[in-house]
Structure 1
Amino acid sequence: MAGQPVKRSFAGATLDNLGARYLGVRSETCSYTTQPVQIPLRDGVELAADFYAPELLDNQASAGLIMVQCCYGRGAGITFLNARLFAARGFQALFVSTRGTDGSGGTFDPHSNEQSDSQDIVAWMRQQPWYPGSFATLGPSYLGYSQWALLHNPPADCIAAVIPVGPHDQAWHTWGTGSFRLDRASWSDLMSRREDERGSFLSRLSNIPGLSFLRPSGRLEKAVAGLPLEASLQKYFGDKAPWIFDYLKHPNVDDAYWESRRHHVSLDRVKIPILLVSGWYDTFTTQTMHQFKHLHNRGVNVSLIVGPWTHVQGSGLHSTPEIMDFLAEHLTKTGKYNYPPVRIFITGSQEWRSMPTWPPATQPKALYLQEDSGIGSKQPVQDAKPASFVFDPLYPTPSIGGNQMASGGRVDDGAYAERSDVLAFTSEPFSEDLEVLGIPSVHLTHASDPPFADLFVRLSEVDAQGVSHNITEVYQALDPSRDTSQPLQLNLQDCAHRFRVGTRVRLIVAGGSFPMYARSLGTAENRVRSEKTAPQRHTVTIAGGVSRLVLPISAAA
């Protein structure tokens, strides 16, 4: 079933042109119409969608078809970047609302139905008179996840994909560190109140570049801070967002519950050209970098762009011209994507760098933790005193910037060095530039009392004025039965940073990052169901250089 095509309005054209000019996209080649359609699925559910058709001359062919699946409505903000810009340049676009959202039938159960539903959408497309015989997929974040779900069983006529800031494994994001990722609560809050007293969900999405509505409300902040966490969230959500309580019940990423929400097999099956876009401060950077490395090692035609961006900034706001060129090449074979396989932004030197792959060749450089809160190339003496701090779950160490969904990014994180529940190891100023490209690692001979504890480790730069800014980080819930006589290795997230002459390395070690992650309670009880807490004393051995930071240094530096 389909409605009548509607021509783009003057206001819509004005918005499209102003937005395109801001993004640096080439000029429009045509106008377009929008037609509402209903897509039947095998179980009788119908999905609501809009079909964007370029208004072309009789002898012109479209530039190709783009398919988008989205759970955030079909309002102006989200469709501008993922449909309208392309329709005004000759592309067809089918923009489909996920099951249970914005007019689509069925029940919204995040990440569980996309694999099956996407195959039905493709089968329906093939029966339409406007279908050109092949298509590409597009969309960031959840829209990117939907692409990985489709590529679990890649359709032969899907010939390219653009996936900015898109995860392929929801278990990895939710419980991959061993602690519950609390942005699942703020995201679930957003999805559970698509219509509320502040206006329609679609109208709030019209300003999606700001994504301010992803920041938790005061009530939700209190709920997330409550103990037990599960009971506190139950009181807040009531019968809304039932999926979040399924998440809480399944902390094991290998549990059968997560099977339909994990698509590592897609990385083994996909053969089409793929463009990946990420930011050093994105929520899903680790997954995007894993995707690139896996596909590149398989010989897949995969390209990667990584900027100094947060999740929202990496969603296409700063890479639309490249996305347009990529789709033009692979849908129309015009050869317009003339970029190297990898383009990354080097923080510190504030420059873009082109590379044939990632990571490039590097050499390890060890910097040893010192007993005077220093860090440097000289190994400490054998009788160097250990460093320690106490993490109190009732007053948890705060999250400051980094890879948070809505309030992350590069920030002044100097407040960490002033806290008694944080160790901050700072080097002397560098006498020459030092370029770090790849995955730094931290080797800590570490113990905690009690043994139920987490570690948050961050690499930062202290500039010549003494201001500290974050570069990369890692979070890990520790195995209480681990052998604490052996160094614990933690791999931080990929980064690309040049320490200039006069700057210093700072390594931050803490026992939590709240409200980014559910805090360790310090007991053997379930961290989301217990209200019992115990402060945890962390001790890091310094003597003999057993605790160190290893930096991958550019071989060309």
Structure 2
Amino acid sequence: MEQPVQRSYTRATLDYLGAHYVGAGPETCSYTTQGIQIPMRDGIELAGDFYAPDLPDNQAPAGLILIQCCYGRGAGISFMDARVFAARGFQALLVSTRGTYGSDGIFDPGSNEQSDSQDIVVWMRQQPWYPGSFATLGPSYLGYSQWALLHDPPADCVAAVIPVGPHDHAWHAWGTGSFRLDRASWSDMMSRTDDQRGRLLLSRLSSIPGLGFLRSSELDEAVAGLPLDASLQKYFGDKAPWLFEYLKHPNVDDVYWTPRRHQIALERVKIPILLISGWYDTFTTQTMHQFKHLHGRGVNVRLVVGPWTHVQASGLHSIPEIMDFLAEHLAKTVKYNRFPAHIFITGAQEWRSMPTWPPATRPAVFYLQENSCLGSKQPTQDANPASFVFDPRSPTPSIGGNQMSVGGRVDDSAYANQSDVLTFTSEPLSEDLEVLGVPSVHLIHASDPPFADLFVRLSEVDAQGVSHNITDVYKALDPMREMSHPIRLDLQDCAHLFRVGMRVRLIVAGGSFPMYARSLGTAENRVRSDKTAPQKHIISIAGGVSQLTLPVRAAV
């Protein structure tokens, strides 16, 4: 164990500037940093840094925060997850995940966090500085590590702050029935050396307006190649072996995924939890599921959802909220009386606090109609079906949404001009329509061949005819389905005000690439085959059999 090192003038300056940017408020102290090694049960050691606030002898720290991180312990990561708290009286233990940034072992995403996190807690309890309890913190993969710890919640863990943190790797990779291709770009970053990864992470976080992950042109070509598995293998070689295990196990119930899934944590946890997400985050669906499940159990859980992408929702806009949460549930210096849900309403561009999510709503039904229309009047029984052809050799592009790279709220008007996309658009609204919750679609849908996917999006068209995305869903369809039966697809949660004069648009396509691995239109494995067949999609609309249902704000 190294000797503690006082914060330098340079780091203090960076801390001041960073705190001003994220709205952390004034510092209350300086701090020291101490490098440590933590033994695991199998003999390897994890590297970490312990941050101790410089406080008067008669003043105890505000509490201890545990952070487990696979992205290093450098300036950017350590500021957001440790230093900003240490400079305000908290102890912070920042530990590098197994196989990363000085920690021994092999990095195998999701497989070791459950046992390693328990071993870290055992070690913490033996240290002279341990205060008797702790909270956990960290976004994204750091949030996953928290859920892995909460699989078996330690009695002395008293609170958790989990921004954009998935609890289930299988759900993200294969939950739609198609492989989520951002696993390839993330694996590309994680397969680099520590130095390369650090530089790449910084460049990717600062090089695009949406603050997401960029892919190299070489990786773009690999993702576009068929067969997908072989094309990625050529790009990665012997790097990122976990990616190819992901591709081998499309069944989310496969035993391979068992150590990477922590739904049980949602059943066992009892401590206060702060969940943070963005409407355009990669893991929004899982965060909303976490809140609904925990709130339904009566757990003290608070949900904050902003108009953010993945990185934006990782804490950049939430430090004041996090500080208040830790002051209440870890330091126990204050008590706040706040509603469980704090939600940003897009369209209205305002924050609103609610006693739960989703709030009470009533259904507003829009019927798919001829001539690309959408309306409240049912079409006649002789209305003609709508159709399009999806070509896996030229897949429908992903535009905005919950991507890790170029996602967010974007102009998706281009979909209306594509022959492989159907758009159904309403007349300008005569009154405001506030949508709160989970929109759904019921479609009488057939495809030839039966091997096909559906991508469905809800968008808003403004007075100038420009369309912007609100929410969507992707689903690989069961080829054995009865095509005369309706398909119900629930879109992702949203909170959006359609103002008077705006138009509601429903977009239907057969793919969204490169967000998801395309449907090949054959019975063969979609990641191991290069055989393709165009897929004709037919949607029946006669008599109103296909419809969009919006959960709209109930009358007060």
Instruction: Tell me the TM-score normalized by structure 1.
Output: 0.98
Partner of residue 360, structure 1: 359
* Percent of paired sites with the same residue: 78
Shift of 1:203: 4.0
Are the aligned partners of 1:77 and 1:208 in contact in 2 as well (CA < 8 Å)? no
> Which residues of 2 match residues 238-387 of structure 1 at below 5 A?
238-387=237-386
Q: Deviations over 1:373-421 (max 9, x none)?
A: 0000000000000000000000000000000012100000000000000
Aligned residues: 553
Aligned to 2:15: 16
- Kept in 2, the 8 Å contact 1:165–1:276? The answer is yes
1:99-138 alignment, distance < 5 Å: 99-138=98-137
Name the SS of the counterpart of 2:330 in structure 1: helix
**Counterpart residue type for residue 260 of structure 1:** P
- CA–CA distance in 2 between the matches of 1:211 and 1:266? 36
> Quick one: distance in 2 between partners of 1:191 and 1:211?
18
| Equivalent pair of 1:77/1:207 in contact (CA under 8 Å) | no
Question: Residues 88, 433 of structure 1: CA spacing in aligned structure 2 closer, same or farther, 3 A cutoff?
Answer: same
CA distance in 2, matches of 1:291, 1:37: 33
Structure 1 unaligned segments of length 5 or more: list them.
Answer: none
Task: Report the equivalent of 1:147.
Answer: 146
Q: 1:201 aligned to 181, 197, 209, which one?
A: 197
SS in 1 for 2:98: coil
Q: Secondary structure at the match of 2:28?
A: coil
Q: Which residue of structure 2 lines up, in the alignment, with residue 426 of structure 1? A: 425
For 1:536, the equivalent position in structure 2 comes to 535
Counterpart contact for 1:411–1:469, Cα < 8 Å: yes
Alignment partner, residue 182 of structure 2: 183
Q: How far did residue 152 of structure 1 move?
A: 0.1
Amino acid at match of 2:368: L
Separation (CA, whole Å) in 2 of partners of 1:235 and 1:211: 27
Q: Which residue of 2 aligns with 1:235?
A: 234
Ranges in structure 2 where 5+ consecutive residues have no aligned partner: none
Change in CA separation of 1:365 and 1:219 when aligned onto 2, cut-off 3 Å:
same
**1:156 is matched with which residue?**
155
Q: How has the CA–CA distance of structure 1 residues 206 and 83 changed in structure 2, closer, same or farther, with 3 Å as cutoff?
A: farther
CA distance in 1, matches of 2:89, 2:187: 36
User: CA 1:211–1:38 in 2, change beyond 3 Å: closer, same or farther?
Assistant: farther
Structure 1: distance between partners of 2:338 and 2:207: 30
SS of corresponding position for 1:332: coil
Deviation at 1:166, TM superposition (A): 0.3
> Aligned ranges for residues 200-219 of structure 1 at < 5 Å?
200-206=196-202, 209-210=205-206, 214-219=213-218
Paired residue secondary structure (1:308):
strand
Number of the residue aligned with 1:417: 416
Secondary structure (helix, strand or coil) at the match of 2:459 reads strand
1:490-509 equivalences in 2 (<5 Å): 490-509=489-508
After TM superposition, give the deviation of residue 332 of structure 1 in Å: 1.5
Change in Cα spacing, 1:25 to 1:207, as seen in structure 2 (3 Å) is farther
Deviation readout 1:115-161 (Å, 9 max, x if unpaired): 00000000000000000000000000000000000000000000000
SS at match of 2:364: strand
Q: Secondary structure at the match of 2:206?
A: coil
SS at match of 1:381: coil
Alpha-carbon distance in structure 2 between the residues aligned to 1:206 and 1:523: 41
Q: Specify the code of the residue in structure 2 equivalent to 1:357.
A: T
* Cα deviation, residue 364, structure 1: 0.6
Tell me the amino acid that sits aligned with residue 201 of structure 1. R
**In 2, are the aligned partners of 1:322 and 1:337 still within 8 Å (CA)?**
no
CA distance, structure 2, for counterparts of residue 7 and residue 21 of structure 1: 22
Q: Which residue of 1 aligns with 2:390?
A: 391
Partner of 1:521: 520
TM-superposed deviation, 1:207: 5.9
TM-score between both structures, scaled by the size of structure 2: 0.98
Counterpart of 2:446 in structure 1 is 447
**Residues in 1 aligned to 2:205 and 2:132: alpha-carbon distance in whole angstroms:** 33
- Do 1:226 and 1:232's aligned partners in 2 also have CA atoms closer than 8 Å? yes
State the secondary structure of the residue aligned to 2:32. strand
Distance in 2 of aligned mates of 1:115 and 1:208: 29
Q: For residue 209 of structure 1, report the CA deviation from its aligned partner.
A: 4.4
Name the counterpart of 1:476: 475
Q: 1:419 to 1:531 in 2, by over 3 A?
A: same
The structural deviation recorded for 1:331 is: 1.0
